[in-house]
Amino acid sequence: MQQPPQHRIDPLAIRVWRISGILTTIFLYSITGGVTIAVHTFGWTDWITAAGLIIATLSAVPLIFLAPQLRWRYYRYEISEKEVYIQSGFFSIKRTLIPMVRVQHVNTSQGPVLRRYRLAELEIHTAGGGSFSIPALKMNDADELRDRIGSWVRAAEDE
Amino acid sequence: MNKPRRLHPSTILVTIIKNIKELLYPLLVSFGISLFSEDMGQKLIWVLTGSSAVLIWIIANSFLRWYRQVYYLENDEFRIEKGAWLKRKIYIPLERIQSVDDVERIWHRLFGVVQLQIETASSESEPEAVLAAVTKRDAAKLKRALFRRPRAGKQSPSAGEGEKLSIENQPDRPRLRLSHRRLLIAGLTSGRIGVMLAVLGPLFSIVIDLIDLDTAFFESIFRSAAPFFSLGGVIVLVLIGALGAWLLSIGSTVILEAGFTVRHDGNYLFIERGLLERRRTSLPLKKIQAVHLVESVLRQPFGFVTIQVESAGYGGESDQRVVCFPLLKRSEIDTFLADFLPEFAPASRMGIRPLPSRVRKRMIGYSLPITAGLAGTAWYFSPSWGGYAFFLPLLDALYGYWRFKSGGWQVEKGVAVFRSRLINRRTVFLPRRAIQSRTLSQNPLTRRAGLAVFQARLASGNQYESKLLERTDAVTMIRETDPEPNRTSA
């Protein structure tokens, strides 16, 4: 707990997060567009459109330019035979310990953007619906790590 | 218990009645509609044939459902097969059972049967298995069979160090019953009054709606009762309403909590309560996720505490918690825990440590900008009365101070303790065997001050966090709640 976890996640994560930030922004703008059409058809006040534009623009800056870098800078992980140690967050920084004996299952997952960069997300689940993620690892590393955690979990439970 | 058994036949009758009750409203409505339509006779005939067909269907279906439902034990599993048309099989491994409840409603008492509910750790709100009616003898036999220790080597991962807890063959098994005096005090301070007002409120609005329906008629009543509607009259009415709600709340507490008894036999905690509807809960001690001491604002001044236990599987109950004992004196808690929840007694005996004093200004000032801003706005828009709005930030600061004074922490023998307040003061005991993940959380401001928050997630799915603590203390808590303290960690 004194030292942060050793490993950083793949730097391509920044690009992945930036792309999803851009997608979110596009989504917000298109909603604003739809609302604008509604405003014109029904003769509502223009304030709604203005508010939509402001929200979409203001959220674009942190979503695309700030959060990805900061998140990457603080995201760290370390996995030992005893436990998984993850640091996450960028304003409020959380260091979480998940003992191997508490891990219920591990899986890797991959959306279209992650696949494009040959990355994968590693998810660690505990009882009671807890889920912790290492969001961007090289595909091979993620698979290898998943199998290694799996065998450590079995070893920890046998003791 | 290895042979498949059926439920008590009274189930058929009850299922029929329940189904008819559900159909009663639509049936009455269609009756009503046919009465007001023109060819009333013919419509009525349709409704009557229709409903008798439905009735026959209900009776046949209820019988079939009873006939097809069996339960038995096999292979260290509790199995239920049911379904009138589609067969459903429910297999519950014995070591996955979190608790067994039996409920005795009024109709159960008529037939001398009970309803058994078996809960596992799943997050679903319904119990995994419900046996609507079994005779008391069968229920006792089944419970004994369900609670037989599963064979060695088939332990669930969450059981872990729970084995150490068992105090086998203890000669005098502790047992505590709520006295009538305490029951009355519990009723007087239950705080259900709010709930009762919420129930009475709609009643009032219904009355008002009725008044709207026939204004002319009620206007005359109003006029004759006009003197009564003076300010004094209204106050009297409100007082009568509040008194009625209070009496109702006492009554409901008595009905729910009468004869509250808690028992302990080494591995299990048995909780029994209720006047009209008896409810018995059996909880394996090692599956208890957390213990809560709740001191409501109405009870804290008199030194009374409610003890709740949290168990995975009580998804339907409030936050997976059940009352373990409704009313104890603060001074009796240590003995109670030692008798019934020994795992938590050492941490309780250590007392609660206060929050670091530099947290005081943070908790007081946390929401001050917002409330002060609100007050400023109110004053800006209405200088005449807006000035009163400055009581808001004052109250906010007092509330923050109150919460700071109420907060605290402790860690002892692998049990972490958080104390905090929203309205009621709540002390939560978290044993390390139930903690799934431990998180240390800091933001730039608290990092500079050397403060941190400890968050713990339980197998029940609930997450608890400390107030701001010294970082070193939070780290100590995290180390002390390590499930395998002997292995080196990061």
Q: How many CB pairs under 8 A join A and B?
A: 91
Asked if A96's CB is within 8 angstroms of B438's CB, the reply is yes
Residue A67 lies in a domain: yes
B442–A93: do the CB atoms touch at under 8 Å?
A: yes
Do A94 and A152 lie in one domain? The reply is: yes
Separation of alpha carbons B421 and B400, rounded Å = 10
Question: In the prediction, which pLDDT does B474 show?
Answer: 95
Domain count, chain A: 2
Looking at A54, A71, A88, which one is the last position of a domain? A71
In this prediction, residue A38 has a pLDDT band, given cuts at 50, 70 and 90, of confident
Query: For residues B420-440, b (16+ Cβ closer than 10 Å) or e, as one string?
Result: bbeebbbbbbbbbbbbbbbbb
B153 part of contact set with chain A, CB < 8 Å: no
User: What distance in Å separates the CA atoms of residue B57 and residue B373, rounded to the nearest whole number?
Assistant: 65
Q: Is B422 on the interface with A (CB under 8 A)?
A: no
Do B439 and A94 make contact, defined as CB atoms within 8 angstroms? yes
Residues B311/B99, Cβ–Cβ less than 8 Å: yes
Tell me what the mean pLDDT of segment A7-31 comes to: 92
Domain edge (last residue) among A48, A71, A94: A71
Using the 3D structure, point to which of A71, A90, A105 is the last residue of a domain: A71
Residues of chain B with C-beta less than 8 angstroms from the C-beta of A83: 489-490
Nearest residue, CB atoms, A127 vs list B121, B441, B442: B121
Evaluate whether B151 touches B93 at the Cβ level (below 8 Å): no
Task: Mark yes or no for CB contact A1/B478 under 8 Å.
Answer: yes
- Nearest C-alpha neighbor of B72 from the set B100, B99, B98, B91: B91
In a domain, A151, yes or no: yes
Distance, in Å, from the CA atom of B462 to the CA atom of B433, rounded to the nearest integer, reads: 14
- Name the minimum distance, in Å, from the CA of A1 to any CA of chain B: 6
Tell me which chain A residues have a C-beta less than 8 angstroms from the C-beta of B458. Answer: 128
Hey, is the C-beta of B482 within 8 angstroms of any chain A C-beta?
Answer: yes
Q: What is the DSSP letter of B226?
A: G
The answer to whether B95 and B104 have CB atoms below 8 angstroms apart is: no
Closest CA–CA distance from residue B209 to any residue of chain A (Å)? 35
Nearest residue in A to B433, CA atom: A102
Same domain for A138 and A91: yes
> Are A102 and A135 part of one and the same domain?
yes
Do A85 and A45 sit in the same domain of this protein?
Answer: no
Instruction: Answer yes or no: is A6 within a domain.
Output: no
Q: CB distance A127–B455 less than 8 Å? A: no
Classify residue A25: in a domain, yes or no. yes
ipTM comes to: 0.88
Within a domain: A120: yes
**A126 contacts B158? CB cut-off 8 A:** no
Which of B436, B447, B475 comes nearest A126 by C-beta? B436
Classified as helix, coil or strand, A108 is strand
Residue A5 lies in a domain: no
Looking at the structure, tell me whether residues A62 and A130 fall in a common domain.
no
Residue B313 CA to residue B321 CA, distance in Å, equals 9
Side-chain-facing half-sphere of B387: CA atoms under 13 Å? 3
Per-residue pLDDT of chain B (490 residues; tens, 9 = 90+): 678 889 998 889 888 888 888 888 877 777 777 777 677 777 778 878 888 888 899 899 899 989 989 999 888 888 888 887 788 888 888 888 888 888 888 888 888 899 998 887 765 667 778 888 999 888 888 888 887 755 444 444 444 333 333 334 445 678 899 999 999 999 888 876 666 666 666 666 665 565 555 556 656 666 666 655 566 667 777 788 778 888 888 888 888 888 899 998 878 899 999 888 888 888 888 889 999 999 999 899 999 999 999 987 665 555 678 899 999 999 999 999 999 999 999 999 999 999 999 999 999 988 899 998 988 888 888 877 777 888 889 999 999 999 999 999 999 999 999 999 999 999 999 999 999 999 999 999 999 999 999 999 998 889 999 999 999 999 999 999 998 877 765 4
A108 and A60 fall within a common domain: no
Instruction: Kindly state whether B458 is in contact with chain A, defined as any CB-CB distance less than 8 angstroms.
Output: yes
Claim to verify: residue A128 and residue A58 sit in the same structural domain: no
Contact at CB, B490 and A83, closer than 8 angstroms:
yes
| Whether A57 and A123 share a structural domain | no
Do A128 and A67 lie in one domain? The reply is no
Distances in Å between the Cα of B308 and the Cα atoms of A51, B252, B371, B382 are 47, 19, 34, 47
Alpha carbon distance B137, B146 (integer Å) = 14
Inter-chain touch B478–A97, beta carbons under 8 Å: yes
Residues from chain A that touch B123, judged by Cβ atoms under 8 A, are 128-129
Q: Which domain covers residue A32, as residue numbers?
A: 12-71
Same domain, A65 and A91: no
Say yes or no for a CB contact (<8 Å) between A129 and B123: yes
For an interface test with A, the pick among B123, B432, B437 (most A C-beta atoms closer than 10 Å) comes out as B437
Rounded (5°) CA angle A95-A97-A98: 140
Is B330 in the A-facing interface, judged by CB distances under 8 Å? Answer: no
Residue type, B334: D
A63 and A17 within one domain: yes
A107 and A64 in one domain? no
Q: Is residue A141 part of a domain?
A: yes
CATH of the domain at A125: 2.30.29.30
CB atoms B436 and A5 under 8 Å: no
Residue A30 lies in a domain: yes
Contacts of B436 in chain A (CB under 8 A): 98, 102, 126-128, 130
